[in-house]
Amino acid sequence: MQAGARVTVVEDDPAVRTVVADHLRAAGCEIEQFGDGATAWQAIERRMPELLILDRMLPGIDGDELCRRVRAISSAPIIMLTALDGLEHRIEGLEHGADDYLGKPFSLRELQLRVNAQLRRSSSAAAPLMFTAGRFRVDPAHRRVWADDREVALTAREYELFLYLVRNPERVVSREEILREVWQWGFGDASTVTVHVRRLREKIEPDPRTPCFLHTEWGAGYRFTINAGAPC
Task: Output the CA–CA distances (angstroms, integers) from residue 128 to 20, 50, 125, 131, 142, in the order listed.
Answer: 34, 21, 9, 9, 10
At 183, is the pLDDT very low, low, confident or very high (cuts 50, 70, 90)? confident
pLDDT at residue 198 greater than cutoff 90: yes
> SS3 of 207, please?
coil
Please state the rounded mean pLDDT for residues 201-214: 94
128 CB-near residues (< 8 Å, 6+ apart): 140, 141
* Segments making up each domain of the chain, as ranges: 6-122, 131-224
Mean local confidence (pLDDT), 81-101: 75
Predicted pLDDT at 125: 43
Q: Which helix (H) or strand (E) covers residue 188, if one does?
A: none
Neighbour tally for 153: CB within 10 Å: 15
- Model confidence at 190, pLDDT cuts 50, 70, 90, reads confident
Question: Which is more confident, 38 or 227?
Answer: 38
Judged against a pLDDT cut of 70, whether residue 87 lies above it is answered with: no
Q: In the predicted model, what is the mean pLDDT of residues 102-109? A: 88
Q: CATH classification of 6-122 is 3.40.50.2300, yes or no?
A: yes
Give dist(CA 222, CA 47) in Å, integer. Answer: 37
Average pLDDT, the chain: 87
* CA 2 to chain CA centroid, nearest Å: 18
pLDDT of residue 91: 73
Q: Which of 124, 85, 117 is nearest to 101 (CA)?
A: 85
At 80, is the secondary structure helix, strand, or coil?
Answer: strand
189 has pLDDT over 80: no
Give domain 131-224's CATH architecture: Orthogonal Bundle (1.10)
- What's the average model confidence in pLDDT over 140-169? 90
Is the predicted pLDDT of residue 77 greater than 50, yes or no? Answer: yes
By percentage, how much of the chain surpasses pLDDT 90?
51
How much of the chain exceeds pLDDT 70, in percent? Answer: 90
Is 147 exposed, middle or buried (CB count within 10 Å of its CB: 0-12, 13-18, 19+)?
A: middle
Asked if 80 and 63 touch (Cβ cutoff 8 Å), the reply is yes
**17-26, 39-48, 87-96: which has the highest mean pLDDT?**
17-26
Question: Does 195 have pLDDT greater than 90?
Answer: yes
Asked if 21 and 135 touch (Cβ cutoff 8 Å), the reply is no
Burial class, 88, CB count within 10 angstroms (exposed 0-12 / middle 13-18 / buried 19+):
exposed
For residue 66, give Cα distances in angstroms to 57, 70, 187, 221. 11, 6, 29, 32
Is the separation of the CB atoms in 69 and 41 below 8 Å? yes
pLDDT attached to residue 126 = 47
Residue 99: which of 50, 144, 155, 58 has the closest Cα?
A: 155
Q: For the ranges 123-127, 181-185, 187-191, 221-225, which has the lowest average pLDDT?
A: 123-127
